[in-house]
Structure 1
Amino acid sequence: MSAGEEALRSQYVIGDEIGRGRFGTVRRCFSAATGEPFAVKSTAKAPLRESDPLDLALAEQEPKVHLLASASPPASAHLVALHAAFEDADAVHLVLDLCPGGDLFSLVSARAPLPEPEAAGLMAQLADALAGCHRRGVAHRDVKPDNVFFDAAGVLKLGDFGSAEWFGDGRAMAGLVGTPYYVAPEVVAGREYNEKVDVWSAGVVLYMMLSGTVPFYGASAGEIFEAVLRGNLRFPPRAFANVSPEAKDLMRRMLCKDVSRRLSAEQVLRHPWIVTRGGSAAVG
């Protein structure tokens, strides 16, 4: 047993596996002192060393960036909080909020298109999470339904900061990071970019919630990237016949190729569609 895992097990009782990714696993765990339930995300370093040094660097900085975004007082109630981190030469172990309510991908897959009030309420919570991150100088860089979770009370929580970056000193970010369907055009183009890449990705999430489809697609990652670069946003009548003009206006402003004209996360929260349709969502 490595030193990091030994330290983890000295404070937490490790339970069953509840999720798995390319390089790690998520397991249920419990505080040895209080019995309080959490989740522990464990990322092995060896596969990252062999595949991509950038992935390894992101995994090693994830605890610092995640803590910056979620540390008390939290920047937003809609962020998965990091409670403890254990690291050694072999792995990184992060103890996180347990979110037993599933994720947004499962919800959208089962029920989309969602009614506008529900979609607006979810988007209000997601935009609040992003605004909180951005106030702390953190860009998430991998906003997608798979990384949006629900706690036991059904409150939305943005998690998985494995691709996040700190821009708080005014630095521009670079690098092709994210997931093809959701990544912003300036990222695909190889240009420097700012935190508004998260707003673009959230715009794709909103499009999915209201239609059950993605706005930019292709048969391969290359084709998807080409569609993203074109940025030709359409609202097919079959999927959007019952979607309001106000919702379409918000999506146009979020999925805007001109970054200077794209809304910030704070501006998304103030958009009339969010204010009127998502007003009952718990934000703060």
Structure 2
Amino acid sequence: MVREKTTGNLYALKCLKKKHLAQSNLENEINVLRRIKHDNVVGLEDFYESRTHYYLVMQLVSGGELFDRILDRGVYTEKDASTVIRQVLQAVSYLHENSIVHRDLKPENLLYYNTDENAKIMVSDFGLSKMSEHGVMSTACGTPGYVAPEVLAQKPYSKAVDCWSIGVITYILLCGYPPFFEDNETRLFSKIMRAEYAFHTPFWDDISESAKDFIRNMMEKNPTKRFTTEQALKHPWIIGDTAREQDIYQSVCEQIQRNFAKSKWRVRNSSRTFFKWCFTERWVHMGT
């Protein structure tokens, strides 16, 4: 964390070792971050480099990860999930309007701005994002389980891959487990490429048909038939008209705890780096 000397405002500091990072990858992330400014996107404030490291001064987001907040709530409904996904869609729609594809949307990259009960969702981590003026990409990248069928099939793909990932996230938010799960990666990818998933009993019995319809449209195997962000934002479940307010906290949280490690339980490797050289003019390093 760093503090801006003139204002006293706090910011997050992202430190990257040069030897672990291709220059082109960092340049891509910096170019993307400098191009975007949205209420639901973690923004870049400044950038520095030393002989061994790159330093990104980022907007401070202190509300924690999505799953952690759900587990801590005590009460959780479809309406809550709909509110989260609507904000993600608004952010991703903005990215797509600016010819940017995130390519790595997943719950770990969705953070709460602060600890307030009604804090907004922030989309983060643009390390795999791509500025695509022509709309077609070919590099296979993303996180297994969230990546779209056309990427795994090694076909040219478009911004529709982000919409698939949002569909997967929505599915998880409503049941607590992923739509595709196999210990064997080959079988996992095979299921994804066939779009082979189901709404299992009893976990989906109390979930509205509208929510399931939304997921089907987002997780459409054919990317040309898949919902765009604009279409998704107009869906009744996202608008809030059909999202149920029945409490699903217990069933969802049991599955989240079973299938996803809570971030605060993870063992995090930390490294010490000294920032004396770059924060003498504008920034004061506050420690990790």
The bucket for the TM-score relative to the shorter chain is 0.7 to 0.9
Residues 109 and 178 (structure 1), Cα distance of their counterparts in 2 relative to 1, 3 Å cut: farther
Cα deviation, residue 221, structure 1: 3.2
1:65 counterpart = 2:29: no
Cα deviation, residue 88, structure 1: 5.1
Query: Residue deviations 1:160-213, cap 9 Å, x none?
Result: 101100012x14111121100111111111111111101100111100100001
Whether the 8 Å contact between 1:79 and 1:157 is mirrored in structure 2 is yes
1:254 counterpart = 2:218: yes
Whether the 8 Å contact between 1:122 and 1:156 is mirrored in structure 2 is yes
Q: 2:132 and 2:75 mapped to 1: Cα distance? A: 35
Q: 1:185 and 1:202 mapped to 2: Cα distance? A: 14
Alignment of 1:216-255 (within 5 A): 216-255=180-219
148, 155, 158: which is aligned to 1:184?
148
1:96 counterpart = 2:58: yes
Alignment of 1:1-284 (within 5 A): 28-48=1-21, 56-70=23-37, 76-87=38-49, 90-108=52-70, 114-152=76-114, 153=116, 154-168=119-133, 170-277=134-241
State the identity %.
31
Match of 2:249 in 1: none
Count residues in correspondence.
240
Instruction: Name the structure where helix makes up a greater proportion of residues.
Output: 1
Query: Residue deviations 1:41-92, cap 9 Å, x none?
Result: 11212123xxxx5xx532231011122122xxxxx31111111122356333
Tell me: higher relative CO, structure 1 or 2? Use CA pairs within 8 A at least 6 residues apart.
Answer: 2
User: Does the residue aligned with 2:179 lie in a helix, a strand or coil?
Assistant: coil
Whether the 8 Å contact between 1:62 and 1:162 is mirrored in structure 2 is yes
User: Does the residue aligned with 1:176 lie in a helix, a strand or coil?
Assistant: coil
User: Does the residue aligned with 1:183 lie in a helix, a strand or coil?
Assistant: coil
Query: Residue deviations 1:16-57, cap 9 Å, x none?
Result: xxxxxxxxxxxx221122220111111212123xxxx5xx53
Cα deviation, residue 233, structure 1: 2.5
User: Does the residue aligned with 2:57 lie in a helix, a strand or coil?
Assistant: strand
Whether the 8 Å contact between 1:43 and 1:59 is mirrored in structure 2 is no
Whether the 8 Å contact between 1:114 and 1:210 is mirrored in structure 2 is no
Q: Say which is worse superposed, 249-258 or 233-242, in terms of deviation.
A: 233-242
Match of 1:9 in 2: none
Please, which runs of 5 or more residues in structure 1 have no aligned partner? 1-27, 71-75, 280-284
Kindly provide the amino acid, as one letter, of the partner of residue 25 in structure 2.
L
Cα deviation, residue 113, structure 1: 9.6
Kindly provide the amino acid, as one letter, of the partner of residue 226 in structure 2.
R
Please, which runs of 5 or more residues in structure 2 have no aligned partner? 244-288
RMSD: 2.0
Structure with the greater alpha carbon radius of gyration:
2
Q: 1:147 and 1:214 mapped to 2: Cα distance? A: 16
Q: 1:189 and 1:112 mapped to 2: Cα distance? A: 41
Cα deviation, residue 224, structure 1: 2.2
Q: 1:46 and 1:278 mapped to 2: Cα distance? A: 50
